[in-house]
């Protein structure tokens, strides 16, 4: 047994990150200064987008993406329930109605066939979640969107560095949203980024993140003017220079981060490839997975799985397993205030009973991964009389 708990995810901060932040602390700008722009340019370049707008969190990014898409009261937005609540909450912030479409059972990614069935005359947008770090079937989703004249938004909070058919996540949907929460690939404390290749959407988002004011303090200082105009009701969703310095420094290490994650994921895939009781989610063809999460399904044939008991037993072995996610429409708020109930998305609901997230982050060693594999097999053995290995 391991000393302490191996977390399911964790940030990596090194001396270069600390130095970058300290440098900004000694500079003239703490909030919107030159480093915000540098981080935005570097990020846009990394994901092949024309524009990147830094915001105070992934959630703020989703909110602004929804607003910039023109969603308001009465408008419907189709999205999967297998996501963090913030994805759907962003639709509610704008007065829109989240409409849940089911997911594919093998990948837990938004199922285009169900999306098509959920389109109505009120549908305005589709939010695809690149769950666990794997891009959705954007070819089908973008095609549905084109036919019905809908905006596509990628909740790419898990998927910086992922690719679909040689295209980088961040340049596939009309708008893409990233998070820099510490468990994600790039950490800024709190933080997020929106990318697009539509200049009108980009400038609208820049205004919305700064109170709805059409210039920022630094631009006015450069122009030698003190006048500003608020042109619509916006928010203070700015990311600071301090945070962007950390983000920019972390971005330099993204490729190493992805490499480490993919190598650990390979070890898990190899260990479980012939185990019929511990089944990793499928990876689609033509995808480069970013592996924010490593999710397995516990499968014991017809026998029901005590998933929560399984997670507790893993924790007792020092393995910080987790569950991503409880379907959004199961949350009490969505049930009581929006009248949603189980049965809306049977595939996501059945998957929820079986999924476990295993630890995966770039500072983990291969030895740590082997400890996780041994603990999973031990707990499965204790539960069912054998580990499921052949």
Ligand X SMILES: *Cc1c(COP(=O)(O)O)cnc(C)c1O
| Residues designated catalytic | 184
- Cite the DSSP H helix spans in 48-189: 58-68, 85-93, 112-118, 138-148
Is there binding between residue 59 and ligand X (CB under 6 A)? yes
The DSSP letter of residue 293 is -
Is there binding between residue 129 and ligand X (CB under 6 A)? yes
Task: Supply the DSSP string of 119-139, one letter for each residue.
Answer: --TTEEEEEEE-GGG----HH
Cis before residue 20, ω within 30 degrees of 0?
no
Is there binding between residue 192 and ligand X (CB under 6 A)? yes
The DSSP letter of residue 107 is T
Residues within window 332-351 making contact with ligand X, judged by CB under 6 A: none
Is there binding between residue 58 and ligand X (CB under 6 A)? yes
CB 389 within 8 A of CB 377: yes
Residue closer to ligand X by CB (options 83, 134) is 83
User: Number of helices (H) and strands (E), helices first, in the chain?
Assistant: 14, 13
Is there binding between residue 188 and ligand X (CB under 6 A)? no
Select the residue whose beta carbon is closest to ligand X and give its number.
58
Residue closer to ligand X by CB (options 159, 347) is 159
CB 238 within 8 A of CB 56: yes
What sign for the dihedral angle of Cα 58, 158, 172, 146? negative
Is there binding between residue 86 and ligand X (CB under 6 A)? yes
Region near ligand X per CB under 6 A, out of 2-10, 57-65, 255-263, 277-285: 57-65
Is there binding between residue 322 and ligand X (CB under 6 A)? no
Residue closer to ligand X by CB (options 129, 375) is 129
Is there binding between residue 155 and ligand X (CB under 6 A)? yes
Region near ligand X per CB under 6 A, out of 5-13, 133-141, 152-160, 209-217: 152-160
Is there binding between residue 107 and ligand X (CB under 6 A)? no
Residue 287 half-sphere exposure, CB side, CA atoms within 13 Å? 22
Judged by CB under 6 A, how many residues of this single chain contact ligand X? 14
Q: How far is CA 136 from CA 80, 155, 208, 224, 248, in A?
A: 11, 10, 28, 47, 27
CB 162 within 8 A of CB 176: no
Which residues lie below 8 Å from residue 344, measured CB to CB, with a gap of 6+? Answer: 81, 100, 329
Residue closer to ligand X by CB (options 89, 171) is 89
- Alpha-carbon 4 to chain mean position: 27
Region near ligand X per CB under 6 A, out of 41-49, 69-77, 154-162, 277-285: 154-162
Residue closer to ligand X by CB (options 77, 278) is 77
Q: Shortest approach of ligand X to residue 57 CB, angstroms?
A: 4
Residue closer to ligand X by CB (options 87, 387) is 87
Q: Shortest approach of ligand X to residue 224 CB, angstroms?
A: 36
Is there binding between residue 69 and ligand X (CB under 6 A)? no
Distance CA 54, CA 32 (A): 10
Region near ligand X per CB under 6 A, out of 9-17, 39-47, 51-59, 201-209: 51-59
Residues that bind ligand X (CB under 6 A): 57-59, 83-84, 86-87, 129, 155, 157-158, 179, 181, 192
């Amino acid at each position: 047994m391991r000393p302490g708990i191996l977390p399911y995810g964790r940030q990596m901060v090194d001396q270069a990150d600390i130095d970058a932040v300290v440098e900004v602390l000694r500079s003239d700008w703490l909030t919107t200064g030159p480093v915000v722009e540098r981080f935005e340019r570097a990020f846009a370049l990394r994901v092949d987008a024309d524009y990147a707008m830094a915001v105070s969190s992934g959630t703020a990014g989703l909110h602004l993406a929804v607003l910039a898409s023109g969603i308001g009261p009465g408008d419907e937005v189709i999205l999967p329930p297998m996501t963090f609540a913030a994805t759907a909450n962003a639709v509610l912030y704008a007065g829109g109605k989240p409409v849940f479409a089911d997911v594919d059972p093998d990948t837990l990614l938004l199922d285009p066939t169900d999306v098509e069935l959920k389109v109505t005359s009120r549908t305005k947008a589709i939010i695809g979640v690149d769950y666990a770090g794997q891009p959705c079937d954007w070819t089908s989703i973008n095609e549905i969107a084109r036919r019905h004249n809908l905006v596509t938004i990628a909740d790419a909070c898990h998927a910086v560095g992922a690719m679909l058919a040689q295209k980088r996540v961040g340049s596939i949907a009309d708008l893409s949203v990233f998070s820099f929460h510490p468990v994600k690939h790039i950490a800024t404390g709190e933080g997020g980024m929106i990318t697009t290749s539509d200049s009108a959407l980009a400038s609208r988002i820049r205004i919305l993140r700064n109170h709805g004011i059409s210039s920022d303090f630094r631009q006015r200082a450069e122009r030698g003017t003190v006048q500003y105009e608020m042109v619509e009701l916006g928010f203070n969703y700015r990311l600071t220079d301090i945070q962007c310095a950390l983000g920019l420094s972390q971005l330099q290490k993204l490729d190493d981060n992805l490499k480490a994650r993919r190598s650990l994921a390979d070890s898990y895939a190899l260990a479980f490839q012939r185990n019929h009781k511990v089944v990793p989610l499928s990876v689609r063809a033509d995808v480069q997975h970013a592996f924010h999460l490593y999710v397995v399904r516990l499968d014991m044939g017809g026998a029901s799985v005590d998933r929560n008991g399984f997670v507790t037993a893993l924790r007792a072995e020092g393995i910080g397993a987790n569950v991503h996610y409880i379907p959004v429409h199961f949350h009490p708020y969505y049930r009581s205030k929006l009248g949603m109930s189980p049965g809306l998305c049977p595939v996501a609901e059945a998957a929820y009973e079986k999924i476990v997230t295993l630890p995966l982050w770039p500072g983990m060693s291969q030895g740590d991964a082997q400890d996780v594999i041994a603990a999973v097999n031990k707990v499965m053995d204790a539960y069912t009389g054998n580990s499921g290995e052949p």
